[in-house]
Amino acid sequence: MDVWVYNTQSLHRPARFSETWQVSEIRYIEYGTRLEIMTLNLAATYDETKVDELRNDFPVLSRLVHGVPLVYLDNAATTQKPLAVIEAMDQYYRSYNSNIHRGVHTLSEEATAAYEDARRRIAQFINAPSEKQIVFTRNATEAINLVAYTWGRANLGPGDEVLITEMEHHGNIVPWQILRDQIGFTLRYIPITEEGRLDLSQLDDLLTERTKILSFVHVSNVLGTINPVAQLTAAARAVGALVMLDASQSVPHMPVDVQALDVDFLVFSGHKMCGPTGIGVLYGKREILEAMPPFMGGGDMIREVKMSGSRWNTLPYKFEAGTPAIAEGIGLGAAVDYLNAVGMDWIWQHEHALAAYAHEQIAQIEGIRILGPGPEERAGLVSFTLDGIHPHDISAILDQSGIAIRAGHHCAQPIHTHYDIAASARASFYLYNTKEEVDKLTAALEKAVEIFLI
């Protein structure tokens, strides 16, 4: 019997048991003969009251919507920004706005130092071996496209296969479909089970020597499912495939260590982790990034340009053509400082507690169907449908109570097709949300049911 221990935070193998862990579930899966033990890292010292103090850091949380205090539960779409981030960007524009990497004057040197220092801190945040492996992109979507168009074009062709999953965000489906239609490989999908987990029973058929890359989501933005990265990475390694992890919904919410996960690429967006829009990250293993051709051509990504041809710059600049999002890079640096100060362990525990509480409360509402696995195995979001009420109507009614949730397909149509629904409503939590806000959500949903079902 092969025993695998997963911890929802670190997800690496072999895991060391800590006394602060609670074993939440033990289950067999049908992938070979393997005993899977799912654990949660719940330190004994979680201080729930810390949230009251943190809320003061977010100016927007004090505003009213329709005359009542805002309850912001659309964090999987984008999070609010703390003063530290707003001020870091403001400071750049007020005191040292300048282009970077080129100028030999004080402002340019200050801006370059601030931008590159942010890159260093972001590398440390995910434990990347070097900041040279942190490529700035516009967002996670652009980072996935970068890999598809550079690594994919250079390494894929007819007869090859790319494996993704049925629970991907469109950002990890459409780039592969476009490329497949252009160069002709086969795109395959790991299906999902009714409980919203990956169905790994057919993995041996889906992941074969033809598979060149396995690209999958760490935490589903609809189901909240936390996928078994270690298991999937080991299976990909066994057939010689690369692994790309879409960490858009994990890096903002739990400690993520790229060296422990041992994936080849990892992507995330700044705006989902207290940072600004317009900045995202592609992390890659150095030798793979070195071997990849550039993405876009232009200034900064070159070492030398002659009329006959050009030579490329070193990492990470080879992939960063043109003037980058300077203020946004500096803002994301301030965001990771902020998250570090709050503590990623605390954030994960807080969100997990909120999502479990929300799950328990709203599960009792008449006609509700919650998508995804049970509270022990999910990250800080809950998607659901209510019988007879369109998710857009749910969202519109909740808005009257100042509650912002998401309604629609959340850029993950295949999941909704799987459940034979067009859309769902989603409440997603972050470090500044409270139990009282979950109570307001529950009360507003009960009111919506009353209004519609009378």
Ligand X SMILES: Cc1ncc(COP(=O)(O)O)c(C=O)c1O
Q: How far is the CB of 167 from ligand X (least distance, A)?
A: 9
Out of 411, 421, 435, 447, the active site residue is: 411
Secondary structure letter of residue 264 according to DSSP: S
Residue whose CB is less far from ligand X, 156 or 412: 412
Decide if residue 334 touches ligand X (CB under 6 A).
no
By the 10 Å C-beta count (0-12 exposed, 13-18 middle, 19+ buried), 309 is classed as: exposed
Among the residues of 367-434, which ranges form H helices?
391-400, 413-418
CB of 278 to ligand X, least distance (A): 10
- Could you say whether residue 171 binds ligand X (CB under 6 A)? yes
**161 near ligand X, judged by CB under 6 A:** no
- CA 134 to CA 280: how far, in whole Å? 10
Regarding 169 and contact with ligand X (CB under 6 A), the answer is yes
Q: Which residues within the stretch 73-102 sit at the binding site for ligand X (CB under 6 A)?
A: 76
CB of 362 to ligand X, least distance (A): 21
Nearer to ligand X, 171 or 316 (CB): 171
Q: Are 399 and 65 in contact (CB under 8 A)?
A: yes
Establish if 246 lies at the interface with ligand X (CB under 6 A): yes
Burial 384-406 (b: 16+ CB within 10 A, else e): bbbeebebebbbebbeebbbbbb
249 binds ligand X (CB under 6 A): yes
Contacts of 159 (CB under 8 A, 6+ apart): 185, 210
**411 catalytic residue (yes or no):** yes
For residue 313, give the DSSP letter: P
Binding of ligand X by 248 (CB under 6 A): yes
- Sequence-ordered list of residues with C-beta below 8 angstroms from that of 341, at least 6 positions apart, any chain: none
What value does the CA radius of gyration of the chain take, rounded to a whole number of Å? 22
Q: Is 227 in the site for ligand X (CB under 6 A)?
A: no
Handedness of CA 277, 356, 438, 125 (dihedral sign): negative
Which amino acid, residue 335? A
Nearest distance, CB of residue 147 and ligand X, angstroms: 13
Cis-peptide, bond into residue 69, ω within 30° of zero? no
Question: Given the complex with ligand X, which of 21 and 268 has the nearer CB atom?
Answer: 268
State the nearest-atom distance from the C-beta of 221 to ligand X, in Å: 3
Q: Is 199 in the site for ligand X (CB under 6 A)?
A: no
Of residues 124 through 143, those in contact with ligand X by CB under 6 A are 139-141
In the complex with ligand X, the residue whose CB is nearer, 221 or 433, is 221
- Minimum Å gap between C-beta 210 and ligand X is 25
Q: Can residue 424 be called a binding residue for ligand X (CB under 6 A)?
A: no
Closer residue to ligand X in complex, CB, 280/316: 280
37 and 17 Cβ atoms separated by less than 8 Å:
no
- Cis omega (within 30 of 0) on the bond before 316? yes
Q: What does the per-residue mask of binding to ligand X show for 394-413, with x meaning CB under 6 A?
A: -----------------x--
What is the bridge-based pairing of β-strands 71-72 and 134-137? unpaired
**Residue positions annotated with a catalytic role:** 411
Question: Which residues sit at the interface with ligand X, rule CB under 6 A?
Answer: 76, 139-141, 169, 171, 217, 221, 246, 248-249, 269, 411
